[in-house]
Structure 1
Amino acid sequence: MSKIDSDTSKKTLYLDIGNSTIKGAYKMGTQWMVLSDERLFSALELVNWIQKHPNSFGKIVLASVRDDVSEAIERELGRQEIKEVSVSDIPRDLLNYETPKTLGIDRFLSCYGATNQTNKSVVVIDAGTATTIDFMDQDDVFHGGVIIPGLWGFSEVLSQKAPALPFVELEIPGKWPGKSTIDSLKWGQAGFYKMGIIGFLDKYEEEFGQYDLFITGGDALEIESMLERETKVRPFLVFEGIERLVRQLESNK
């Protein structure tokens, strides 16, 4: 019997279905616990895991940017109580966004989780397969943002397009400008990425004023190490946003 199953009170399982990964978490008291130490890369792996723990979760709440994956999970777990939160569940007055139908709900949710932890506006960097840099004001209105390639995807572009160039680590050289091919590549990859993010952060401040900066996602610590400013690294922002939105929806019934 697993530690999860040994707790007789059934929990809510939260699922964040992204473009390339499926992540799950649940709460033990006030603490978030990841479903697994490793990312779950397929719906089948997730379904098999849940079916092996039938007494663990009373309800599954998911947010997805992949309709095919969420539909497959709901089909295979038909006996479970499953709720999917979607962009249509977001109060329209909280979206200052021209194409809500194409908005990845994880972008809103990570910001919605962040504004619940501060009385200021927020910028949230979600550093995953793609990196998003989004702004939400202190009234929980989502204003959109930026989508760029993820940190490692960005660094792989040159190795794919120019294989004769050497591989370099994602680190900022000590001298400017680069005095070797290696250091020039490092400036062109890690340095360019860092300066691009800082430029976007400065533009948000110029446009909207001061804000709290949150970072989440698999590459959050790498991004944090690049930025010379105060940041709040929060690995569970999307789950916190899901939980907050569900509570709001239930209170409005």
Structure 2
Amino acid sequence: MLWAIDIGNTQTNVGVHDGDQWVVSWRHETYAARTEDEIAGMLLPLAELAGLRFSDCSVAVFASVVPPVDTNWQRFCEKYLGVVARFLRNGAQVGMQVTYDPPHAVGADRIANALGALARFEPPIVVVDFGTATTFDCVDATGAYAGGAIMPGIVVSLDSLVGRTAKLPAVALEAPERAVGRNTVESLQSGVVLGYADAIDGLARRIKSELGEYTTILATGGLGRVFVDLCEMIDEHDPVLTLEGLRLAADQLA
């Protein structure tokens, strides 16, 4: 069994692959003070519910943008999974050309997105990853990681708006039936959800005009499912794309 762990600023995504398919994946809050024993206590019941044993793990591969948590995850792998953690750090580790400046500034999750996308589609490709930030990861026609764009994530945007206004309530991230809101909740959902979807489409359209007409645009990340049907420019949603990229990188990180 291969465990792939994508540690983001807000959430950590853990997936288990049995050699043929992704058996299960779990999301939980990223918490820097969580010890290796607390990680085990959190994951053991979930693994047991899925019929998995820690001892079945043969590889654990990571992408992390939160360095303070890495050490405890390494300890968890050694103490409970019985393996040494493998960390994807940059494109050079996996033979991917990176034309970003400087190359090492590209987050490991963004390299994993590019790897996962290239395994499924011919370039050029754009991966829109909906996380704490919404990132656009661009692979050019040669297969090189060419850069992209970074937007404030929709949850960050909504929290900031609600937190700075006295009368606006928190709302569910759901598309309203109409753009013209008939009440405060609908108005917020129109502006936040529909407005954000159009912002994604607008930026994706600009990027596609630079990369080429036959660019494939994928969505991933925790909130990708919300926008795949709202955005005209998104071709497909792949919720395990980052994990798949990590799986493909694992052998080269040994």
SS state at 2:219 partner: strand
Cα distance, 1:129 vs. partner?
Answer: 2.1
Cα distance, 1:248 vs. partner?
Answer: 4.4
Q: Determine if contact 2:87/2:253 at 8 Å carries over to the other structure.
A: no
1:146 aligns with 149
1:129 aligns with 2:118: no
1:191-202 alignment runs, 5 A limit: 191-202=194-205
TM-score, scaled to structure 2: 0.80
Deviation sequence 1:212-253 (CA, Å, 0-9, x none): 111111111101121124521111111111122233456xxx
1:39 aligns with 28
Q: Which 5+ residue runs of structure 2 have no aligned equivalent?
A: none
1:189 aligns with 2:192: yes
Cα distance, 1:173 vs. partner?
Answer: 5.4
1:101 aligns with 2:104: yes
Query: Are residues 46 and 23 of structure 1, via their aligned partners in 2, closer, same or farther at CA, if it must alter by over 3 Å?
Result: farther
1:20-59 alignment runs, 5 A limit: 20-36=10-26, 38-39=27-28, 41-42=30-31, 43-44=34-35, 45-48=38-41, 49=43, 53-59=53-59
Query: Are residues 162 and 85 of structure 1, via their aligned partners in 2, closer, same or farther at CA, if it must alter by over 3 Å?
Result: same
1:87 aligns with 90
Q: Which 5+ residue runs of structure 1 have no aligned equivalent?
A: 1-10
Cα distance, 1:206 vs. partner?
Answer: 1.2
Q: Determine if contact 1:216/1:237 at 8 Å carries over to the other structure.
A: yes
Q: Determine if contact 2:100/2:146 at 8 Å carries over to the other structure.
A: yes
1:221 aligns with 2:228: no
Distance 1:231 1:195 in 2: 15
Distance 2:170 2:66 in 1: 33
2:60 aligns with 60
One-letter amino acid matched to 1:140: G
- Aligned-CA RMSD value: 2.8
Cα distance, 1:166 vs. partner?
Answer: 4.5
| Larger Rg computed on CA atoms | 1
